Chains A and B, each alone.
Chain A
Amino acid sequence: MNIKSVHDYFPGMDIIDSDIKEKVKEAYDQVKDIRVAKADVLASLGAERLAYRDLFILLSHEAEDLLEEMAEVARAKRIRYFGNNVSLFSPIYIANYCENSCRYCGFRAKSDIKRAKLNYEEIDKEMKALSETGIEDVLILTGESQKFSPIEYIAESCRIAKKYFKTIGVEVYPANVEDYKVLREAGADFVTVFQESYNPETYDYYHPYGHKRSFAYRFDTQERALMAGFRGVGFGTLFGLGDPIEEAFKLAVHASEVQKKYPQAEFAISLPRIRPTHGADNSLDFNIVDDKKFFQIMLAIRIFLPFASITLSTREAKDFRNLAVQYGATKISASVDTSIGHRSKESQDEGDEQFVIDDIRSTEETCKDLRKIGMTPVFTDYINL
């Protein structure tokens, strides 16, 4: 079955008590037509507490001309909250079966990629191989298929991960509160789900069927995870789908509103950009975000949410990541392989990658490069109690 509107929920999906969706929409509607002058940008940069209007101003095209000034402010905040520390993590893709239809994704159901799912023994080997690189923070990923990757499969993977890692994040399909409780119990600490697009029309176009079609259920994910007792949550939007200013604005306001409601939680923002990939619909006309705009977005989010971790993936090139960590980003991945079961080289059933990565550095190389630019690699900043 399918749902007609992206604002609907499929049967069985938790509907929680929250007005954050409406708040995010209202916040954007209030600012989207304001005209920004250079003086506004300077005033927003000088503000100690930034309002949503300031966030919009810092994301505007007018602010691009003041990128150096923005960078100074962002850097000062980055140093105040995180020093020169850069946290390292690595993703592990344990399955790439997917029941969704996201037009831009290599894992989507219609794609002809090679499917695979690791068994527990293979997961153990992959995790062991990864932990031997020094990584202590792991992110477990699957394609979005409850059939092939049921909660218990993900939970068991978390239990295995506990043997090797200090911090466990999961980036899997959005789940109900009760299922998140199972994952938390199994040792997972953080939940990340990208909204992909915060504009319902854009979302509608890119997600024609599958459970992911429910914009509303996906939007509530971080709250459901926090209701289940998770330590922290990650937010993201896939730059390249919607209007980048609207997307970045709504992303940051979403995180800000959830923080107000759950002040004890830890917050992470991911900034992924569209990458070329096999299996996606290659006729798509993306809103490609160039390096300068992307950098500006990162600076604006750092200034607006100084306490939040900002993650850049290996979709980004090494030189870009080296620059970004000095001004805004605080967490990067290393030793990345987005395909299934490559690390231990022993898995029987290897599957294709989700997207093509740009930065292929090992953990050791990444650390060396970070130290060269005066940054400190951090493997763990968290106690798993």
Chain B
Amino acid sequence: MENKDYLVLGDKKFESRFILGSGKYSPELIDAAIKSAGSEMITVALRRANTKDVANILNYIPENVTIIPNTSGARNADEAIRIARLAREMGCGNFVKIEIMRDSKYLLPDNQETLVATEVLAGEGFVVLPYMYPDLNCARDMRDAGAAAIMPLASPIGSNKGLATRDFIKIIIDEIDLPVIVDAGIGVPSQAAEAMEMGAAAIMANTGIATAGDINMMAKAFRLGIEGGRLAYLAKPGRVLDAGADPSSPLRDFFD
């Protein structure tokens, strides 16, 4: 067998590095979007799935796709923990993306509370994916608390602004020996490719696809961007030289 380039999270291996969000379009469109995206993971807001409605989103997710319930709606660690447990009871598996927000306007994550929830849930056997500000110290604490990956935000959620936090995410990629999944703010495939070239392990995107004119075509475009970025990362890009770079070397002048 050749060495496949798998993404490993918990006890699962994934070929796809594209995690699809589900919250902003009709459940009926999910199946086609997953196929176009080639995704093997999809996030679901448990607060949306916790319904008796026949159109429950969980009924639309193909069996071979791993559901990652998220804790959106939680405002502190305690609520996130309870939502995660409820998700497991409902048969959503062991994965959980922790989202804790104390601000209804910008929906920015609360790193401190997320750390508390990560520690408790990792201890209960969850595969914990904490959504957080790209803060190196906190990322280390998340790792030590048992996180399966780090999910730093690229820019404010839903903004499609791309890698506004690029330098900080790069530091986390360089320093933390866990998959780094870039989440929030990735609006177009070029931004996804950029993050992957930088060494991100995967991309999570929702709004960029959900708000596109053609959801399936955009899902496919993201897949190609992510695959391209990953290949470029593995290929180890050559040096990028500025146009008109001076070929003479001050070192050569000195030593010769």
Contacts and interface: CB of A to CB of B under 8 A. Distances in A.
Interface stretch (B19-27, B33-41, B137-145): B19-27
B27 A134 contact: no
B210 A83 contact: yes
Q: How extensive is the interface on chain B, given as a class?
A: 20 to 34
A380 interface: yes
Interface string A68-83: 0000000010011111
Contacts of A378: 48
Nearest to B106: A307
Given A79-B211, A263-B105, A385-B83, A376 B46 contact: no
A134 B54 CA distance: 9
A371 B48 CA distance: 17
A166 B105 contact: no
A322 to B, nearest CB: 16
A21 B26 CA distance: 41
B158 A81 contact: yes
Contact of B24 (A79, A307, A379): A79
Interface in B72-122: 73, 75, 79, 82-83, 86, 101-107
Interface of B: 23-27, 45-48, 50-53, 55, 73, 75, 79, 82-83, 86, 101-107, 158-159, 207, 210-211
Contacts of A380: 47-48, 50-51, 53
Nearest to A81: B158
Given A79-B210, A136-B52, 8 more contacts: A76-B211, A79-B24, A166-B51, A259-B104, A376-B25, A380-B48, A381-B48, A381-B73
A81 B210 CA distance: 11
B103 A264 contact: yes
A385 B102 CA distance: 16
B158 A263 contact: no
A382 B47 contact: yes
A85 B207 CA distance: 13
Contact of A80 (B25, B26, B158): B158
27 contacts: A80-B159, A80-B211, A82-B24, A83-B210, A83-B211, A136-B53, A263-B102, A263-B105, A264-B75, A264-B101, A264-B102, A265-B104, A307-B105, A307-B106, A377-B53, A377-B55, A379-B51, A379-B52, A379-B53, A380-B47, A380-B50, A380-B53, A381-B47, A381-B48, A382-B47, A382-B73, A383-B50
Contacts of B102: 263-264
Contact of B105 (A83, A259, A376, A382): A259
A83 B23 contact: yes
Nearest to B47: A383
B51 A84 contact: no
The SS class assigned to the B binding surface is loop
A134 B51 CA distance: 10
The 7 closest A-B pairs by CB, nearest first: A83-B24, A379-B53, A80-B158, A383-B47, A263-B103, A264-B102, A380-B51
A385 B79 contact: yes
B75 A383 contact: no
B104 A267 contact: yes
Interface in A4-41: none
B218 to A, nearest CB: 14
A83 B26 CA distance: 9
Interface string A318-358: 00000000000000000000000000000000000000000
Contacts of B50: 166, 380, 383
Contacts of A263: 102-105
Interface centre among B45, B75, B86, B158 (most CB of A within 10 A): B158
A219 to B, nearest CB: 21
A374 B26 CA distance: 8
A259 B106 CA distance: 11
A371 B210 CA distance: 16
B105 A84 contact: no
A170 to B, nearest CB: 20
Interface centre among A82, A380, A383 (most CB of B within 10 A): A383
Nearest to A262: B104
Given A263-B103, A263-B105, A380-B47, A80 B52 contact: no
Contacts of A166: 50-51
A122 interface: no
A12 to B, nearest CB: 32
Given A263-B102, A385-B83, A134 B26 contact: no
A383 B104 contact: no
Contact of B53 (A134, A259, A385): A134
A204 interface: no
